[in-house]
Chain A
Amino acid sequence: QKEVEQNSGPLSVPEGAIASLNCTYSDRGSQSFFWYRQYSGKSPELIMSIYSNGDKEDGRFTAQLNKASQYVSLLIRDSQPSDSATYLCAVNRGYGQNFVFGPGTRLSVLP
């Protein structure tokens, strides 16, 4: 089992819909969780972080964490074509710099 897994994608949603991006992790001791967005030809950009169970909202983005299920998700409400990008899930396992990225999910928002 890979340490961090994401939907294989690509994921296509119509403009205005909710995009749901999922991520699971294998190390139950993981402490912190992050979502990055990478536009084609650009470097990744940190868009959300979450540290405790529950939801965290920031504008149209909501991160959800369930440590018991070892699951973290990113919801994008009212998806826009400008949200089309690859989304990377990352997990900090809390000891040293033990930081792992998932393979990424490519999202296409269709106008």
Chain B
Amino acid sequence: GAVVSQHPSWVICKSGTSVKIECRSLDFQATTMFWYRQFPKQSLMLMATSNEGSKATYEQGVEKDKFLINHASLTLSTLTVTSAHPEDSSFYICSAFGSRAGRWYQETQYFGPGTRLLVL
């Protein structure tokens, strides 16, 4: 399958600091990337949809000023958790939407390996 990378895989930070997570689509161009959050034993929760060159669309209840998303190129989207607090500790997963073969009906989401954030 297509390869999507995330960096860092683990981050521990102090409360009040900001953390940036990168999501890269390595072998296809993704016009759309998605950001999810998942708490232990819970389902994936979509946070926002990011389209290259435009503002992200946030799901209801997700603070856009706290979770800043930038999708500056077809292969890179970043999520910045600003002024992180312990309740932001979670597993953050990105996905890139597209198809390696370029066929529209094969377009699907390819997930990165995720980033574990622990805010002390």
Contact = CB atoms under 8 A, between A and B. Distances in A.
B43 interface: yes
A45 B111 contact: yes
B108 A49 contact: yes
Interface stretch (A15-23, A61-69, A71-79, A97-105): A97-105
Contacts of B43: 103-104
B83 to A, nearest CB: 26
A43 B107 CA distance: 18
A90 B108 contact: yes
Given A101-B44, A103-B43, A32 B107 contact: yes
Contact of A32 (B32, B93, B105): B105
Interface residues of B, number: 21
Contact of A94 (B31, B105, B113): B105
A8 B49 CA distance: 27
A38 B109 CA distance: 14
* Interface residue SS majority, chain A: strand
Nearest to A102: B43
Given A97-B32, A103-B43, A104-B43, A43 B106 contact: no
Contacts of B67: none
A43 B113 contact: yes
B108 A99 contact: yes
Interface of A: 31-32, 34, 36, 38, 41-46, 49, 51, 88, 90, 92, 94, 97, 99, 101, 103-104
The 7 tightest CB contacts between A and B, nearest first, are: A43-B111, A43-B114, A43-B93, A97-B32, A44-B111, A32-B105, A34-B108
Given A42-B114, A44-B95, 14 more contacts: A31-B105, A32-B105, A32-B106, A36-B111, A41-B91, A44-B44, A45-B1, A45-B111, A46-B110, A49-B108, A90-B108, A90-B109, A94-B104, A101-B44
